Amino acid sequence: MIEVHDLVKRYGATTAVDGLSFTVKPGRVTGFLGPNGAGKSTTMRMIIGLDRPTAGLALINGKRYREHKAPLCVAGALLEARSIHRGRSARTHLLGLARTHGLPDGRVGEVLEEAGIANVARRRAGTFSLGMGQRLGIAAALLGDPAVVILDEPVNGLDPDGVLWVRTLIRELAADGRTVLVSSHLMSEMAVTADHLVIVGGGRLLADTTVDELIGRVAPASVTVRTPEAVRLRSSLLSHGATVSSSEAGELSVAGLDAPDIGALAAAAGIVLHELTPRRASLEQAYMELTR
């Protein structure tokens, strides 16, 4: 579990993180979202002890990261894929990390295979593409078989196969009961991957909620209705408390009533329907509405 309590980080007169509090629970994927400069990366760096908070506290499984005897076996993180010695091979890079924690050399081979880069394990990391560098960074994060995994923009630079691999990996980690915190600017990925969302803006918490709750609260669902008797149906819908708008003749956008209720009203009035389609706002629409 990750616990963030009243976290503050100031750089001179600039406040990057401002009184931030949230909890990332095990067994689910928590998406960490916010515009550029919102304080996401700074918060992640403070969680794993790379930056010292100005105030507040960040705990992993009840302790500061540096207080754990074998931190790589407690929390693995990918914050910057390029933060490696460019002259070392992928295997040598991971061996160096493994030996700091007494992990067997065989574990290096396992994570190289899991990350799909075993065939380039002896190539210098400096020759890697961005996507391959991401895979190496994820391999490093998994090296200690940690209970907590923190990934900052893990699909950046990956091809479609790589994106699918990361999506599947993240879901499997959570299904194993691990605590998973993932930041991303790709709302489409978060919509199919995240169980919970923590959204920040200006270093402050904007939302701590599920995907469905956020969409329902910020961008309510609607129903698109097509009918040759739009005027009559509109009148009936309004009388039952619905909100109705129209962008073209014969088409209505209805909020406040669900599709079965609209269909029942039309049937009772003898109104023919050509279309009755529920519309759910996307996570991207809800996110933009919340953060603007």
Per residue in 84-119, pLDDT (tens digit) is 888 889 999 999 999 999 999 999 999 999 999 999
8 & 45 share domain: yes
Give pLDDT, residue 167. Answer: 94
Per-residue confidence band for 136, with pLDDT thresholds at 50, 70 and 90: very high
123 & 246 share domain: no
128 & 243 share domain: no
- Sign (positive or negative) of CA dihedral 175, 176, 181, 184: negative
DSSP per residue, 139-170: HHHHTT--SEEEEESTTTT--HHHHHHHHHHH
199 & 226 share domain: no
Average pLDDT estimate for 62-81:
93
Which of 215, 243, 264 is at the close of a domain? 215
154 & 240 share domain: no
* CATH number of the domain bearing residue 241: 3.30.70.980
107 & 250 share domain: no
Which of 193, 215, 237 is at the close of a domain? 215
Q: Into how many domains does the chain fold?
A: 2
In a domain, 259, yes or no: yes
Q: Is the model more confident about 85 or about 203?
A: 203
Which of 165, 188, 215 is at the close of a domain? 215
231 & 211 share domain: no
In a domain, 292, yes or no: no
Position 44, amino acid: M
In a domain, 289, yes or no: no
- Does the structure show a pLDDT above 80 at 18? yes
In a domain, 290, yes or no: no
127 & 258 share domain: no
Dihedral class, residue 47 (left if φ above 0, else alpha if ψ from -120 to 50, else beta): alpha
- Does the structure show a pLDDT above 80 at 220? no
Kindly state the tokens that stand for 164.
Answer: 């699918």
In a domain, 288, yes or no: no
Per-residue confidence band for 27, with pLDDT thresholds at 50, 70 and 90: very high
124 & 196 share domain: yes
The DSSP letter of residue 63 is B
In a domain, 287, yes or no: no
43 & 105 share domain: yes
225 & 128 share domain: no
> What distance in Å separates the CA atoms of residue 110 and residue 118, rounded to the nearest whole number?
9
Residue numbers of the domain that contains 71:
2-215
Q: How far is CA 231 from CA 95, 255, 265, 266, in A?
A: 72, 16, 14, 12
52 & 187 share domain: yes
Q: Which residues pair with 60 in a beta bridge?
A: 2, 63
* CATH number of the domain bearing residue 78: 3.40.50.300
In a domain, 98, yes or no: yes
| Neighbour tally for 167: CB within 10 Å | 17
Q: Which ranges of the chain does DSSP label H, i.e. alpha helix?
A: 40-47, 90-100, 105-114, 130-142, 160-175, 187-193, 211-218, 230-239, 259-268, 283-291
In a domain, 143, yes or no: yes
CB 25 within 8 A of CB 198: no
Per-residue confidence band for 286, with pLDDT thresholds at 50, 70 and 90: confident
Q: How far is CA 213 from CA 50, 98, 137, 156, 170, in A?
A: 33, 41, 32, 27, 22
